Structure 1
Amino acid sequence: MLGAAALALCGAAQAQDTRTVREPVPPPACAVLPAESALPGRDDAPRIQAAIDTCTPGHALHLAPEGDKRAFTAGPLTLRSGVTLVIDAGVTLFASTNAALFDRGRNTCGTVDDAGSGCRPFITAEGIGGAGIMGDGGIDGQGGQRIDGKSETWWQIARRAQKENLRQNVPRLIQLDRAREFTMYRITLRNAANFHVAMNRVDGFTAWGIRIDTPRDARNTDGIDPGSSRNVTIAHSHIRTGDDNVAIKAGHNGPSENISILHNRFYSGHGMSIGSETDGGVRKVLVEDLDMDGTTSGLRIKSNDRRGGEVKDIVYRDVCMRNVQWPLYIDTNYAPGPPGELIPDYAGVRMEHVHSLTPGRNVILQGYDDKRPLRLTLDDVVVDGSPALKIDFARLAGRINPPGAAGIDCGKRLLPFPDDAARVARQ
């Protein structure tokens, strides 16, 4: 059952999100839609969309089990202002494997080409406010299932595009554009064909107690990507995926700012990232109480002079890592290519009480040049095992592994990814 307690997330002195964020409370139901299938396959999109469209703002549409019937399957769905989609415990909403349903009109969805972007997202929230996705059920993008009428899965198309230096045409799972006050609570997202949650120009986003669970070899399956967005809180969530667990981006649509990443646990994936698009500016970010176990990178800022910009006022605090290949990875020459004029400039970055239990391959701390060095403050930052250090164009206040430092105690923090049984037991 969904929790109803409303608890303050964090004091204003700590959180960078300017809102007062509390544990979400599900709205009252406008309708309950029973499942009509035990397995994915039938097309439930018309009745789900009709129920969303007729739901009164301030209410929620529930997708509910009916006996042993617990599966809904749909093509693209569009959320409406003030309407929350609740997926009840035991229920899974599957994305259809019919590429034609997602096609944008060029007959390219489910193919590779030079353009990409040929597919609509599975769930879209565009220009709306006060909507959300909640529940103890799940949304499954079926990225590892073969596309109807084809010999490949969505993920295999993504890998083929990489090998052929082309672009994939596959659907994102959830896309938020110009949305306001969007909330995700306790929902599990699995097997996205592409990004799980992507944001563009969103003001007010909360993800609380969600799980993202997709294989480590599924290409471009980022967990949550706030892009050119502000007032974002991601809290009490568990994320394992095939690309960035969280990636804060800021392109030509403007800055990303006032972002709080609090009390989260990351597993497989590319870590806690900023970039690579930073030309819009990234500022006022707090990452606190984060555990990363088995990610490729840990605390990562990545950009280059074709998409770089100002990254400032970034605080990482109380972070534990284990089996991370690059525990600290700050790079101004990510994905080298022809020179550009969008120069990365990283200033006012702080790391406090950060401990990696394993050395990884190396630690990279790299500014752009003498005029635009990395400006980083280190306070109680410990990487066990004598890591190799690569430090260029960096002005450091403090040092890694200061004399006598043992690092914060991470021994009881690095826990397995919670399965469904463990999740229920905590209620």
Structure 2
Amino acid sequence: MLLSLFFFSLCFAGGYSDPVTCSGIVPHRQRTDTISITDFGGVGDGRTLNTKAFREAIYRIEHVRRRGGTLLFVPPGVYLTESFNLTSHMTLYLAAGAVIKATQELGNWPLIAPLPSYGRGRERPGGRYVSFIHGDGVRDVVITGENGTIDGQGDVWWNMWRQRTLQFTRPNLVEFVNSRNIIISNVIFKDSPFWNIHPVYCSNVVVRYVTILAPRDSPNTDGVDPDSSSNVCIEDSYISTGDDLVAVKSGWDEYGIAYGRPSYGITIRRITGSSPFAGIAIGSETSGGVENVLAEHINLFNMGVGIHIKTNSGRGGLIKNITMSHVYIEEARQGIKIAGDVGDHPDEKFNPNALPVVKGITITNVWGVRVLQAGLIKGLKNSPFTDVCLSEINLHGMSGPRSPPWKCSDVSGFAHQVSPWPCSQLSSQETGSCASFSRD
């Protein structure tokens, strides 16, 4: 099923003939030095703890510099380990049949400080558990291979969340902080404790040819969340998780406003996936601003919401120049949702008068079948959403040719060939930034 859906994604995106890619964002590095985890005592029997082997191998890469960097090879086998940090100028390479598996013994899981743009852990006050594979202040790092697996064994964390016994925020599976020139490709990510891939305060990041899997009922297992980051490309991947497949973020309420680092220059293309939440999301943490996002050739199945732009009073931040096109949605509660009343707050210190500004949203060439409700656009009374441009959108309902009508408030913009017709606030006369909107 996974391969057939991914093949359909490529076909819907125009087949195999020279697709546009983001390969030029990060320069290709040919590693001149190769070491194996087995050189440092690594044992892939699924029982032996390999934390010492991974940490010693990466210490060697960091302190014995080789021109061109070093490739750390993980041969077939199951390598149980605690969390570990990556270093600059390295490639973590997983052979076919290689599994790096997180231990479920959580007593030694390190804590790190909260992100400054969040002010606290995303789930609990205070610090947060470090991601399973972590990079802070690194550059020129590659995680790749022959579709080996990074397995977070997240069910023990999910159960703590369900039982409300978490003391701190769960760890991401892979996180890069303050880093640049990162490539993640040709790896399977499985059962993350929290978000799967989280580049935050990063630039020049490519995520491609990955598979990200988690059960539909796994809490907060977002696929890829670029956060206060720039020049990020996510493409040619399959994602099936318990939360948003891709969510662009930039900080949380007063902390994100103060930190003031937007996400911009984000490209998302040829993604296929399934989730009870959103396919492509902006937010809800958008306090640093989100600008210049392109998502195209997206195929979504059995979804909560196809396209979701979400923010809230107290967020502040500017969301503009968001373009989503060539989206196929099959079975969803809602096709398109743009809303200003989504998401919680870190504490009582947020300013309810810090209103987000949402403008320049272009959504075109969307086809949906078995969509329960076509869409909802809910702006803010004191900060209406403007220049929302919809074109060539056809959303079929569960039992008829059309979904139930849209619900709209506090929005202005333009609509052309949208079925069912969205709302009276969206004019058939192009105005504002919609005046230069191409309907091709």
| TM surpasses 0.5 | yes
Q: Trace 1:24-173 onto structure 2 (pairs within 5 A).
A: 27=31, 29-34=33-38, 37=43, 39-55=45-61, 56=66, 58-65=69-76, 70-104=77-111, 114-115=124-125, 117-135=127-145, 136-144=147-155, 153-161=156-164, 169-173=169-173
Q: Check if 1:384 corresponds to 2:392.
A: no
1:2-36 superposed Cα distances (whole Å, 9 cap, x missing partner):
xxxxx98638xxxxx8x834896774552122496
Tell me the residue number matched to 2:239. 239
Deviation at 1:363? 1.2
Question: How far apart are residue 401 of structure 1 and its match?
Answer: 2.9
Q: What pairs with 1:270-309 in structure 2 (closer than 5 Å)? A: 270=277, 271-309=279-317
Shift of 1:399: 4.5
Most deviating of 254-263 and 168-177: 168-177
Structure holding more strand per residue: 2
> Which whole-Å deviations, capped at 9, do the CAs of 1:320-371 have from their partners, x for residues lacking one?
0111211101110114788712212211110111111122245111221265
Residues 113/187 of structure 1: CA separation in 2 closer, same or farther (3 Å cut): closer
Task: Check whether the contact 1:24–1:208 (CA below 8 A) recurs between aligned residues.
Answer: no
In 1, are the aligned partners of 2:149 and 2:188 still within 8 Å (CA)? Answer: yes
Counterpart position of 2:335: 327
| Structure 1 position 366 matched with structure 2 position 369 | no
Q: Secondary structure at the match of 1:10?
A: coil
1-structure distance, mates of 2:242, 2:342: 18
Q: Is 1:349 paired with 2:349?
A: no
> C-alpha distance in 2, partners of 1:336/1:194?
17
Q: What does the per-residue CA deviation read over 1:260-298, in whole Å, with 9 as the maximum and x for residues that have no partner?
A: 001111212522110011111100000011101112111
1:372, distance to aligned residue in structure 2 (A): 2.6
Task: Read off the aligned partner of 1:158 and give its amino acid letter.
Answer: W
How large is the RMSD of aligned CA atoms in angstroms? 2.8
What does residue 149 of structure 1 align with? none
Offset at residue 387 of structure 1 (A): 2.2
Relative to structure 1, the CA distance from residue 167 to residue 242 in structure 2 (aligned partners, 3 Å threshold; closer, same or farther) is farther
SS of the residue 1:305 aligns to: coil
Aligned counterpart, 2:219: 219
Point out the more displaced range, 385-394 or 72-81: 385-394
Q: Helix, strand or coil: the match of 2:271?
A: strand
Query: How far, CA to CA, are the matches of 1:220 and 1:196 in structure 2?
Result: 9
**Structure 1 equivalent of residue 424 of structure 2:** none
Residues 351 and 44 (structure 1), Cα distance of their counterparts in 2 relative to 1, 3 Å cut: same
Percent of matched pairs sharing the same residue: 25
1:314–1:213 distance in 2 versus 1, CA, 3 Å: same
Structure 1 residue ranges without an equivalent (≥5) = 1-6, 12-16, 107-111, 145-152, 405-427
Once residues 208 and 30 of structure 2 are traced to their aligned partners in structure 1, the CA distance between those partners, rounded to angstroms, is 12
Q: CA deviation at 1:76?
A: 1.5
**TM value normalised by structure 2:** 0.78
| Aligned partners of 2:266 and 2:292 also within 8 Å | yes
Question: Which runs of 5 or more residues in structure 2 are unaligned?
Answer: 1-16, 114-121, 422-440
In structure 2, relative to structure 1, the CA distance for the partners of 1:331 and 1:105 (3 Å cut) is: closer
Q: Which residue number corresponds to residue 393 of structure 1?
A: 410
Q: Distance in 2 between matches of 1:25 and 1:290?
A: 30
